[in-house]
Amino acid sequence: MKRLLMTPGPTPVAPETQLAMAQPMIHHRAPAFMDILAKVREDLKYLFQTEQEVLMFAATGTGAMEGAVANTLSPGDTALVVDGGKFGERWAELCEVYGIKVDRLKVEWGYAVKPQEVEARLTANPAIKAVFVQANETSTAVAHPVQELAQVVKKFPHTILVVDAISALGGYPLPMDEWGLDVVVAGSQKAMMLPPGMAFAALSPKAWEMVKTSTCPKYYFDFAKQLKSQAKNQTAYTSAVTLTIGLMQVLGWFREQGLERIFARNARMARACRAAVAAMGLELFSKEYPSDVLTAVQAPAGIDGQKVVAKMREKGIWIAGGQAQAKGRIFRIAHMGYIDEQDLLGTLGALESVLNDLGYKVELGVGVKAAQEILGKEA
């Protein structure tokens, strides 16, 4: 059965990328592969909008998140964790595993952290060495105000801002150097349009300074070691060869299209999706800063969000349900990476039918039309 993948990671992989990755295997220490790594290193800097080296790991995003904790902090340190969803919780869990004291800034699911609250906590507790946050909290589809957070954290010379950009990077603007983000972590399988299995981390000079004194144990995710290897166009351990080849192909696409155009398109799809949801009489789960890369929708009263997901899947369309406390209450539609405007219109059309089937009456076409008007107007 034909499938339309509209989940916020993994997202669809372009056939061109699949072909690139289906090339005969090559050895990761051979000159031919080192040339690929050299190219990828340059293009990753473009994508991250940084002059710093972007570290590559054969792992999924959580691995690089673990690395971000273990390479910058030491047991006994204090960290401020913005916890506004499933992935905020992950930062807290990771810190606790490494014996780092967690000052937890709880944010109600569906809302964004307030920069002034972060500033108040940092002022109240000068021991805080790092602030951990999601750029896009995938579980709630809220984009935390990372630029404003960076302005706050900059005032504290011994504190870094660590951003989980796994579902954000390549999806909407997050210029690392311009905004002054200290650690940016990303993953291959979302806006980067690759299969899962590669994770990335880039560090500011301020963050690299902290690496020097960090005493947490690390080996596979040893950032300093990886930095040294990449300077020689190698990875510290075996490279994810096929994914790296796919990455080269995808980064070429990012260069060719240009970040601005890609970001504008995702933002347009997001506005169209939100307009469609409103036209169907539904509410967003994201009460503030709804994300440009996915939309989280509250299931209509009396209808299980998981049922919406299951019914959509019967039509060949894979959307995501809610996670943890949001399970059953919401469903989520991605609009990033290789997902295009036609995919979104098809999904919205199918959603109208599914909602009707489940007993929530929607006039067919009303959401699609609302989306079309936005997509058309700004094409």
Which residues contact a copy of itself (rule: CB under 8 A)? 3, 5, 7, 9-13, 18-19, 21-22, 24-30, 58-63, 66, 70, 93-94, 97-99, 187, 189, 195-197, 216-221, 237-243, 313, 318, 320
Write phi, then psi, for 80 (nearest 5 degrees).
-100, 125
Nearer Cβ to a copy of itself, position 216 or 267? 216
- For residue 270, which amino acid is it? A
Nearer Cβ to a copy of itself, position 98 or 263? 98
Contact 187, 196 (CB under 8 A): yes
Q: How far is the CB of 219 from a copy of itself (least distance, A)?
A: 5
* b/e burial code for range 335-348 (CB count within 10 A of at least 16 → b): bbbbbebebbbbbb
Q: How far is the CB of 322 from a copy of itself (least distance, A)?
A: 12
Q: How far is the CB of 58 from a copy of itself (least distance, A)?
A: 5
Nearer Cβ to a copy of itself, position 81 or 150? 81
Dihedral of the CA atoms 85, 90, 95, 97 (nearest 10)?
A: 140
Nearer Cβ to a copy of itself, position 288 or 343? 343
Please state whether the peptide bond connecting residue 290 to the residue before it is cis, i.e. omega within 30 degrees of 0: no
Contact 40, 242 (CB under 8 A): no
Q: How far is the CB of 238 from a copy of itself (least distance, A)?
A: 4
3-class SS of residue 49 = coil
The answer for residues whose C-beta is within 8 angstroms of residue 1's C-beta and 6 or more apart is: 316
Q: How far is the CB of 179 from a copy of itself (least distance, A)?
A: 26
Nearer Cβ to a copy of itself, position 207 or 216? 216
